[in-house]
Structure 1
Amino acid sequence: MRVVVIGGSGHIGTYLVPRLVRAGYEVVNVSRGERAAYADAPEWAEVRQVVADREAPEFPGRIAELGADVVVDLICFTLESATALLDRLRGGVGHLLHCGSIWRYGPSRKVPVTEETGTAPVGEYGVQKDLIARMLKEETAAGGVVTTSLHPGHIVGPGWQPIGPLGSHDPEVWYRLSAGQPLQVPGIGTELMHHVHADDVAHAFEQAIARRDAAAGEDFVVVAPTALNVRGFAHEVARWFGQEASLETVSWAEFRRATTPELAAVSWEHLHRSQCFSVEKARTVLGYAPRYEPEEAVLESVRWLIGNGELKVARALAV
């Protein structure tokens, strides 16, 4: 069975592509060819590499010409792009899987959020992911292409900066916690974030491919078994460095004055949603079994960043 992975050199593909090779699939990775996967693996030697630009008008046709049984689309962000690809695959591919986002749901009102209880999305990114998921579900329900959409939380893993305790990529947060310095926290510190290790997301995609009939026309949230809130996350990070977190809760107005507009905006986007999800549907239907708790996944990322000189901290990890 031939599986074409669009964007297979990125976060999820780094783990998904080797998994698929080990499972016996013929794998084609489609990317812009600008970078290698985040982690090397011997299975990549068996992968066919195709260079293509997702934004090019001829892209959907190039994917159709690859003769895939399964297409995994990891880098689709607009309904227009998703529809263009689907139109070219209709009648030719057996299963189309789309990578969405938990941001297809808006700020939580009841937790844990399920696929049925999420609120309407806010922001263009979330709106587009929601529109894509709905379009794919309708396609399958109407007897068209078999589709599945999976919606990861905040993806973490070695090789890139994770979303930190304040809901942003601010490197200063890690330094202050490692040094035991006071950290200003906007709100009251109970706002939630739901991370997931990239390999657990890859596992979910592999399971959805293997259980095509069960996954047909469905959408799934893919996150860690539990979620972290701001203060719990900060205390956990401080512990990694043998410190106690010293947190000062401040208003959002105060927080915005103390940081850059860009970092404040990213923090707000993550924290005002305050999301925590259930993975029960993915467990029951796909056999999803995440290996990483959120703090374990983030620690793996931070350890890699420190070891590769990409994150400055005040002292060595104590764990």
Structure 2
Amino acid sequence: MRVVVVGGSGHIGTFLVPRLVRAGHEVINISRGVRGAYLDAPEWEQVRRVVADRQREDEEGTFGDRVAGLAPDVVVDLVCFTLDSATALVDSLRGRAGHLLHCGSIWRHGPSHHGPISETSGTAPVGEYGIQKDRIARMLKEETASGGLVTTSLHPGHIVGPGWPPIGPLGNLDPAVWHALSAGHPLRIPGIGAELMHHVHADDVAHAFEQAVAHRDTAAGEDFNIVAPTALNVRGYAHAAAGWFGQTASLEPVSWEEFGRTTTPEHAATSWEHLYRSHCISIGKAKALLGFAPRYEPGPAVLESVRWLIEHDELEVARPLVV
């Protein structure tokens, strides 16, 4: 099939595009610039590249027609963030493409009341990002149920992999956290460290999309959570990460107010956004209907990312990895 991937040079596309080529599909990648994927692969030589500014073309009302004009059998949309943008693409593809797959987020679920959270058991989303992702997923289900375009939405957790920083043990991107853990220094944590984060390796997300493409009839009109088999809480994550450097984590629980005084407003806000949701997500539906079989537990997935950052001088740590 001809598969058009929108945003295929990013985290998921780095692994998905080569997978689709190996599966025998003709692949066209639409991206905003000419930056390459995070990891090189020979399959990219067979990929047609199209440069487009989606935001501008969405404003002009032309992006959907650009995608439809490529005559795709399948469209994989990895960079859609608003209901208006998603609706415009659906309107353009209706009757002109066989399957639209959308990348959502587990933030379509609000703060957890119980776990694991299924596709239908989460609380209402909070924050504009999660609200928009939830609205998109609901619109897509209604589109397919009404006899329109065949759609599927997949909702990854916190995506990790080689080439970019992972969401760290405190739920933020502060590199000082890794230095403290690698040095064996005390690390202040907000609360008692029981809050959960649910990561997923980018290649496991790519695997899920590949399975949804291959099983169109089963995936039609469905939404799927896509995460690692287990989740990490703050203290477990911190102890595992310190161990990668041969250290033992020394954790000091503090109030959120005190935590905010020990870091930047940006890092404190990011920590709050991740930790107060405290997500532990079920992948039972994706396993049953798509044959989703993630290879990575969250710890090894994050370790792969940290190792890459250290080897490429993008993360300063006090001691080398011992694993």
Q: Same fold (TM over 0.5)?
A: yes
Indicate yes or no: 2:96 matched with 1:103: no
Structure 2: how far apart are the matches of 1:231 and 1:302?
Answer: 18
Gaps of 5+ in 1: none
Structure 1: how far apart are the matches of 2:246 and 2:264?
Answer: 29
What percentage of residue pairs aligned between the two structures are identical?
74
* Match in the other structure for 1:81: 85
283, 297, 301: which one aligns with 1:297:
301
* Match in the other structure for 2:46: 46
* Match in the other structure for 1:213: 217
Indicate yes or no: 2:5 matched with 1:5: yes
* Match in the other structure for 2:16: 16
Deviations 1:260-300 (A, max 9, x none): 11110000000000000111100000000000000000000
Deviations 1:149-195 (A, max 9, x none): 00000000000000000000000000000000000000110000000
Gaps of 5+ in 2: none
Give the aligned length.
319
129, 135, 141: which one aligns with 1:131:
135
Structure 2: how far apart are the matches of 1:34 and 1:128?
Answer: 28
Taking structure 2 as the reference length, the TM-score comes to 0.98
One-letter code aligned to 1:15: F
Indicate yes or no: 2:124 matched with 1:120: yes
Structure 2: how far apart are the matches of 1:23 and 1:130?
Answer: 30
One-letter code aligned to 1:205: F
Structure 2: how far apart are the matches of 1:151 and 1:77?
Answer: 13
* Match in the other structure for 2:255: 251
Deviations 1:182-239 (A, max 9, x none): 0000011000000000000000000000000000000000000000000000000000
Superposition RMSD on alpha carbons, in Å? 0.5
Taking structure 1 as the reference length, the TM-score comes to 0.99
CA apart distance, 1:33: 2.0
Structure 2: how far apart are the matches of 1:176 and 1:233?
Answer: 14
Aligned to 2:159, the other structure's residue is in SS state strand
* Match in the other structure for 2:169: 165
Indicate yes or no: 2:240 matched with 1:240: no
Displaced runs of 4 or more, over 6 A: none
One-letter code aligned to 2:84: E
CA apart distance, 1:34: 3.7
One-letter code aligned to 1:312: E
Structure 2: how far apart are the matches of 1:288 and 1:133?
Answer: 19
Aligned to 1:12, the other structure's residue is in SS state helix
One-letter code aligned to 2:298: P
CA apart distance, 1:35: 1.1
